[in-house]
Amino acid sequence: MLGSACAQRAAAPAACSTVRAPQQQQAAALAFRRAVGGGGAALRSAAAGSSTAAPPCRGAACTQAVAAPERPTQQPSAGGSEQPPLKVIIAGGGIGGLVLAVGLLKRGFDVTVLERDMTAIRGEGKYRGPIQIQSNALAALEALDTHVAQRVYEEGCITGDRINGLCDGVTGDWYIKFDTFHPAVDMGLPVTRVISRITLQEILADACRALAGDSIILNSVNVVDYEQGVDPKTGRKIVTAIAQDGRRFTGNLLVGADGIWSKIRDKMIGPTKANYSEYTCYTGISDFTPADIDVVGYRVFLGNGRYFVSSDVGGGKMQWYGFNKEPANGTDPPGKRKERLMEIFGDWSHHVTDLLKATPEEEILRRDIYERAPMFKWADGRVVLLGDSAHAMQPNLGQGGCMAIEDAYQLVLDLCHEADKAAEKGPGAELDVERVLNGYMRKRVVRAASIHGMAGMAAYMASTYKAYLGEGLGPLEWLTKFKIPHPGRVIGQIIMKATMPGTMGRVLGGFRRTLDQTDRLPMCHLADQPQGFPHDLFPVYMEDDDALLRASHAAWVLEPVTAGANRELHLEFEATKGQSPVISRQGMTVGRAAACDLRLDAPSASDRHARLHQCEAGDYHITDLGSQQGTYVNGKRLVPNTPHRLLPSDELCFGSNDLGGKRFKVKMMHRSLLEGGRHGSYERPRSVPPPSDATMGQPQLGAAQ
Ligand SMILES: Cc1cc2nc3c(=O)[nH]c(=O)nc-3n(C[C@H](O)[C@H](O)[C@H](O)COP(=O)(O)OP(=O)(O)OC[C@H]3O[C@@H](n4cnc5c(N)ncnc54)[C@H](O)[C@@H]3O)c2cc1C
């Protein structure tokens, strides 16, 4: 268990020692706790029940528990002492808008979400694939609403508990690996997960409805404009969101959470052009069980002018993105997307091509990727931007949605602090909305811009990777055949290795100081620990590619390439008995003779042609047994009677290719597929059940020592 692993790691105490003492934490959390009106205990007790049990934000003057929550219009104030609750209009019910709505509703604000197209929430929207929610955003979510966070933990698929990183697109070799697990655990943050956007939005929308009823999210409201003014009855400043059909929604604050093509932003700063990233993105999801799913979470395959991302998304499904450099607005003839993708990525590693082959044509979507230059004005009077409307970035860092969640957290925190101050001033004091919005903007601008910059950098690096000298050099392309490592690749790798831990710390932990202002205790969840391998081996797999390869619960398979060679050889042992040629540790022979374990009925094969076997370390080898025509690996003839190590994607040819040799590709196959399973049916084990509501707010593993 991670707990015991942590306890045993004397040299790397991780979460066990780096997190702050509960007393310190409590002191730092004071302000937010006061702002939520019921103290930390109240927030935790709210978490232990449904979202509806939350105490409203009512200022220090109103710290008694209140019966929660009718729609808080009748409640004492989240707008300052004895003021009606602040009425917040949120344009856009995407990730950012809904997280903000949950956070504000829990603290007693009066919220209305105006959504242009509810199908986006119900999941019928086109691009609602899975999304990675990283440690920074999960912690913010947890601090806003532990009940919502727990549902995300239960529904999501942890990828941060495994090795992730960048690979060479063609060979599949690791370029650099990321450890997102230990930085998270060391900082007392939840470990990164992937969750379906549909599920995430449903969880958030459910929480909103549980807090304030069905009318909290209004559908088919296309907000196109806003006006600011003063309510003639009360004299209070107001803002009105105006829908395309003329409907008007008035409140004290308008949040533009309406995404990259935001109308609120257009009104605020005038229309601006989105930047085309120069990449179109094909995306798909398929039932697929990669051979190394137990040890690898997600991978980015690098190339020149193209790159590919694959990620386990749970439920037996893999999500992938294929990016290709080309002009915007390209289209594919009907039914031809897969073909196009095979043209682009067909000669890449089998990790890539297997996924493409396994994806039904109709599951493949295509969109052009846009971003917007960082902006430094997010607020205009009582109107403010949040999420993509303020900082749409490239998707490469998987942080766009996470930044929207951080934004939402910051805005809730700041509104609560200001409500607290107003309450302290006494009856009649009003919450200074404009000050809050400007403060929120100042706090968020730098972090959002730096993550935006890193996302752009990540995109640049992923798409300008050149494995060998000569690549992209036009007339000098022939140089690639010498396989001289490209200097850019080598230098890039050195720089990335040196800077990666710091970068990871900034991305995942850069928001921690703000999180410390709440009563969320730094903690690790037992359920976050690696399930597919002993935790102690994590650092070994980070360093040693071979050890990681051997750790896959995979059988090695020879997939026929030559037409007619329709039989797969499973280079496997006991597990496959009776299902495929079983090879003992001593190995199996290949050849024409009847005594061979695998008979090759081809003139190119010698009677005893070659031998396949596994060495003590677990690697697979092939030895040519002095065959007449030879055995070839990747076009190179093997020295007879000398073992040669096999690697995934190697191509074997028994006999000369020119003389009709039988060709096979070396592949790995997840064990479950040999044991009667089918692609998509394998569920990674969860040895520890998700933490119960009752324990969610408590540090586990003795983390906060
Ligand atoms: C291929 C790809 C992969 C990505 N992967 C990740 C990832 O793994 N992790 C991550 O954190 N981020 C990821 N992102 C980025 C992420 O999708 C966005 O940053 C995130 O969705 C932004 O959330 P938002 O709430 O600001 O905007 P959105 O999610 O775009 O929501 C905006 C909402 O506003 C509504 N709306 C729009 N206009 C109006 C209007 N005029 N009136 C009313 N409603 C309106 C829309 O219907 C929508 O529901 C990815 C992006 C892409 C393109």
For ligand 1, the distance from its centroid to the CA atom of residue 93, given in whole angstroms, is 9
For ligand 1, the distance from its centroid to the CA atom of residue 537, given in whole angstroms, is 37
Higher pLDDT: 526 or 301? It is 301
| Low-confidence winner among 53-67, 145-159, 641-655 (lowest mean pLDDT) | 53-67
Q: Whose CA is nearest to atom 3 of ligand 1?
A: 395
Closest among 238, 233, 242 to 251, alpha carbons compared: 238
Sign, CA dihedral 357-363-366-369, equals negative
Q: Is the CB of 452 under 6 A from ligand 1?
A: no
pLDDT digits over 490-511, tens only? 787 888 888 888 888 888 988 8
Q: Is the CB of 223 under 6 A from ligand 1?
A: yes
Question: Taking 60 as the threshold, does the pLDDT of residue 689 lie above it?
Answer: no
Q: What is the pLDDT of residue 121?
A: 55
Average pLDDT over residues 224-245: 94
Task: Please enumerate in sequence order all residues whose Cβ is within 8 A of that of 109, keeping only pairs 6 or more positions apart, or say none.
Answer: 56, 57, 72, 78, 79, 85, 86, 87, 88, 415
Other beta carbons within 10 Å of 334: 7
Average pLDDT over residues 621-650: 93
d(CA 33, CA 201): 27
Q: What is the pLDDT of residue 486?
A: 77
| Low-confidence winner among 29-43, 534-548, 627-641 (lowest mean pLDDT) | 29-43
Higher pLDDT: 73 or 383? It is 383
| Low-confidence winner among 26-30, 319-323, 331-335, 626-630 (lowest mean pLDDT) | 26-30
Concatenated DSSP letters of 434-484: HHHHHHHHHHHHHHHHHHHHHHHHHHHHHHB--SBTTTT-GGGGGGGGG-P
Average pLDDT, the chain: 80
Q: What is the pLDDT of residue 81?
A: 53
d(CA 105, CA 147): 14
Ligand 1 atom, smallest distance to 393 CA:
19
End-to-end, the C-alpha distance of the chain in Å comes to: 18
Q: What is the pLDDT of residue 124?
A: 45
Q: Is the CB of 219 under 6 A from ligand 1?
A: no
pLDDT digits over 159-173, tens only? 999 999 999 998 899
Query: Which pTM was predicted?
Result: 0.84
Per-residue pLDDT band at 622 (split at 50, 70, 90)? very high
Question: Taking 70 as the threshold, does the pLDDT of residue 3 lie above it?
Answer: no
Question: Taking 70 as the threshold, does the pLDDT of residue 336 lie above it?
Answer: yes
Task: Please enumerate in sequence order all residues whose Cβ is within 8 A of that of 415, keeping only pairs 6 or more positions apart, or say none.
Answer: 57, 78, 86, 104, 107, 109, 431, 436
Average pLDDT over residues 530-539: 88
d(CA 654, CA 604): 7
For ligand 1, the distance from its centroid to the CA atom of residue 404, given in whole angstroms, is 9
Q: What is the pLDDT of residue 12?
A: 29
Per-residue pLDDT band at 563 (split at 50, 70, 90)? low
pLDDT digits over 44-92, tens only? 333 333 343 333 332 222 222 222 233 333 333 455 555 678 999 999 9
d(CA 656, CA 667): 21
Q: Is the CB of 387 under 6 A from ligand 1?
A: yes
Three-state DSSP at 651 gives strand
Paired sense of beta strands 588-591 and 598-599, if any: parallel
Helix (H), strand (E) counts: the chain: 23, 30
Q: Whose CA is nearest to atom 49 of ligand 1?
A: 94
Ligand 1 atom, smallest distance to 120 CA:
49
Q: Whose CA is nearest to atom 29 of ligand 1?
A: 94
> Can you list the alpha helix ranges (DSSP code H) found in 123-272?
135-144, 146-155, 181-186, 197-212, 263-269
Higher pLDDT: 313 or 475? It is 313
Q: Is the CB of 523 under 6 A from ligand 1?
A: no
Per-residue pLDDT band at 618 (split at 50, 70, 90)? confident
Ligand 1 atom, smallest distance to 129 CA:
3
pLDDT digits over 432-455, tens only? 999 999 999 999 999 999 999 999
For ligand 1, the distance from its centroid to the CA atom of residue 195, given in whole angstroms, is 14
Q: What is the pLDDT of residue 120?
A: 61
Higher pLDDT: 72 or 194? It is 194
Average pLDDT over residues 227-241: 92
The backbone torsions φ and ψ at residue 664, rounded to the nearest 5 degrees and listed phi first, read -140, 150
Ligand 1 atom, smallest distance to 223 CA:
42
CA 38 to chain centre: 34
pLDDT digits over 275-297, tens only? 999 999 999 999 999 999 999 99
Q: Is the CB of 400 under 6 A from ligand 1?
A: yes
Q: Is the CB of 256 under 6 A from ligand 1?
A: no
Q: Is the CB of 117 under 6 A from ligand 1?
A: yes
Concatenated DSSP letters of 528-575: GS-SSS-GGGHHHHHH-HHHHHHHS-EEEEEEE-STT----EEEB-GG
Tell me the percentage of the chain whose pLDDT exceeds 70: 80
Q: Is the CB of 448 under 6 A from ligand 1?
A: no
Tell me the percentage of the chain whose pLDDT exceeds 90: 51
Higher pLDDT: 204 or 11? It is 204
Rounded to whole angstroms, the maximal C-alpha distance in the chain is 99
Average pLDDT over residues 111-126: 74
Q: Contact, 72 vs 437, CB < 8 A?
A: no
Q: What is the pLDDT of residue 211?
A: 96
For ligand 1, the distance from its centroid to the CA atom of residue 209, given in whole angstroms, is 21
Q: Which of 100, 112, 113, 116 to mutate to test ligand 1, by most ligand atoms within 8 A of the CB atom?
A: 116
Q: What is the pLDDT of residue 310?
A: 95
| Low-confidence winner among 32-46, 224-238, 382-396 (lowest mean pLDDT) | 32-46
Q: What is the pLDDT of residue 640?
A: 97
Q: Which of 197, 245, 258, 507 to mutate to test ligand 1, by most ligand atoms within 8 A of the CB atom?
A: 258
> Can you list the alpha helix ranges (DSSP code H) found in 270-323?
none
Higher pLDDT: 686 or 463? It is 463
Q: For the packed helices 135-144 and 400-425, what is the interaxial angle rounded to 10 degrees?
A: 30
Question: Taking 80 as the threshold, does the pLDDT of residue 477 lie above it?
Answer: no
d(CA 702, CA 522): 10
Question: Taking 50 as the threshold, does the pLDDT of residue 6 lie above it?
Answer: no
Concatenated DSSP letters of 353-406: HHHHHHS-GGG-EEEEEEE----S--EETTEEE-THHHH---GGGS-HHHHHHH
Question: Taking 80 as the threshold, does the pLDDT of residue 102 lie above it?
Answer: yes
| Residue that has been written with the tokens 């752009």 in this structure | 456
Q: Contact, 582 vs 594, CB < 8 A?
A: no
Angle in degrees, CA 163, 168, 174, rounded to 5:
30
